[in-house]
Structure 1
Amino acid sequence: MKDMGPLTYFLGLEISRNTQGYLLSQWKYTCDLIKLANLTDNKTHETPLELNVKYEKDDGDLLSDVTSYRQPVGRLVYLTMSRPDISYAVHVVSQFVEAPCTLHMTAVHRIIRYLRGTLNQALLFSSSPDLQLSAYSDANWARCPISRRSTTGYCVFLGQLLVSWKCKKQTTVSRSSTKAEYRVMVDACSEITWFWGLLIELGILLSVATPLYADNLSAIQLASNPIFQERTKHIEVDCHFVREKYTVGIISLPHVTSELQLADFFTKTMTSSCHRFLHGKLMLVHYPTSV
């Protein structure tokens, strides 16, 4: 093995350090992606996706060259490693790589224009000594207009650090918003449990339960109140994994208002003002290109 000094660049990831902590970015990778798109204008957008637009399979004419769509989408998927703010938008456009249409390509170009306007963004890993875990989970019920499956979204913080996030379409159709929210809580709870095990291996013992913030009161009651169990036999047995972790004190289930639900970033489009507010909560910071 060879000591090559402090890590600065690895597989498109740029790592730098300042007084606040470590900065993880993909500036050069993003610049290459913008060049690949070969856009003929200098427009930028404040949000990655247009508000309240639902894309379907037959939105416009089929593209004659599917590679021109698949290549940037594939690169965008890799870019979500350091840019959680585009996770939902990339989740949407990646559903059409098999047979992309003109409107889908327009959505990809909008994401790239958003990246052009937010090029100097980095994910900050603060040097704060706070090692308390916290998480947010949310679901966009029946969001997909094609299959009516819900969208899962959660994020996990270690202190102020955003260490894990997910945006994914659920594998089955949920007949109620409570069921959709509960499924997300299962995924987030599994992630929290994994982090508990990792921290224990590192010799860090968490003294308090990890708050898993949710904005659906029915899902919270379902997990915390055993009286509700007899009414919910239609929910699979493994979903009650959440209640087990709640009972033993690994998680707590505080309610959070929809305005402060950080997981919304991974389940839906939003206005410019909401996007800016939540963007700052995800520890994405501006840094100079010389870094």
Structure 2
Amino acid sequence: MIITGDDPKYIAFVKARICDQFLMTDLGPLRYFLGIEVSSTSDGFSISQKKYIHDLLARAALGDERTVETPMEINAKFRPTDGDPLPDPTRYRHLVGSLVYLAVTRPDISYPVHILSQFVSAPTTVHYCHLLHVLRYLRGTITRCLFFPSSSSLQLQCYSDATWASDPTDRHSLSAYCVFLGGSLVAWKTKKQVAVPVRVLRLSCGLWLC
């Protein structure tokens, strides 16, 4: 059980009442929980998954120490038929699943994780190469974290963007958004749109289709 709040006396009161009813051990301030590291100061607190990334890189067993500057190559387009099918997709699925959980504190990999997740049923050598690209990016940015300042305002700000028919297979667009509460990033998502954008087309019979 995690108890949070800004009133130390009331927190101590709640813990004492819970201890009266249940067998409980007080582990002190939250520092590590399910692979997520929490660090707090008078300026605010930060959450990261540095140890989780170290463990992920160890499981991936990359054969070099290279790093890259971006989580995915610019303007990269992926199709299910690119490359040769992997003989055993288990490793790909395991690593992509780990990246999905890592995106809890790393919004900068939200887009590539969304893309790579689409091929877990039948990944290819091309998809696996781009998966390794994400891992090399994480190796070079392992200390990045989310910071939540204690002096942040309560003003909500939302930013969104979208591509136009960017999926080379089904021509669906991608939407993305992020939400800030003051200076704190509290929500983000990348998602493929349901509808297919349609341009104005002129048919051979002279009619116009929108």
State whether TM-score is above 0.5.
yes
Residues 1:130 and 2:153 are matched in the alignment: yes
For residues 87 and 129 of structure 1, what CA distance do their matches in structure 2 show?
24
1:88 corresponding residue in structure 2 = 111
Identity %: 53
2:88 corresponding residue in structure 1 = 65
> Does the residue aligned with 2:118 lie in a helix, a strand or coil?
helix
2:121 corresponding residue in structure 1 = 98
2:164 corresponding residue in structure 1 = 141
Cα drift, residue 36 of structure 1:
1.0
Residue among 102, 108, 112 paired with 1:79? 102
Structure 2 residues without counterparts, runs of 5 or longer: 1-17, 19-23, 200-209
- Structure 1 range deviating more: 84-93 or 167-176: 167-176
Residues 1:21 and 2:44 are matched in the alignment: yes
Q: Deviations over 1:203-254 (max 9, x none)?
A: xxxxxxxxxxxxxxxxxxxxxxxxxxxxxxx9xxxxxxxxxxxxxxxxxxxx
For residues 170 and 87 of structure 2, what CA distance do their matches in structure 1 show?
26
Deviation beyond 4 Å, 4+ runs, structure 1: none
Q: Which has the higher helix share?
A: 1
Residue among 140, 150, 168 paired with 1:117? 140
Structure 1 residues without counterparts, runs of 5 or longer: 177-233, 235-291
Q: What amino acid sits opposite 1:57 in the alignment? A: P
Residues 1:44 and 2:47 are matched in the alignment: no
Greater C-alpha Rg: 2
Q: What amino acid sits opposite 1:23 in the alignment? A: S
Cα drift, residue 143 of structure 1:
1.1
2:205 corresponding residue in structure 1 = none
Q: What amino acid sits opposite 2:167 in the alignment? A: C
For residues 101 and 55 of structure 1, what CA distance do their matches in structure 2 show?
10
> Does the residue aligned with 1:29 lie in a helix, a strand or coil?
helix
1:282 corresponding residue in structure 2 = none
Q: What amino acid sits opposite 1:98 in the alignment? A: S
Matches within 5 A, 1:173-184: 173-175=196-198
Q: What amino acid sits opposite 2:79 in the alignment? A: E
* Residues matched between the structures, number: 177
Q: What amino acid sits opposite 2:187 in the alignment? A: S
1:163 corresponding residue in structure 2 = 186
Cα drift, residue 67 of structure 1:
0.4
For residues 129 and 166 of structure 1, what CA distance do their matches in structure 2 show?
22
Q: TM-score, normalised by structure 1?
A: 0.59
1:172 corresponding residue in structure 2 = 195
For residues 22 and 75 of structure 1, what CA distance do their matches in structure 2 show?
24
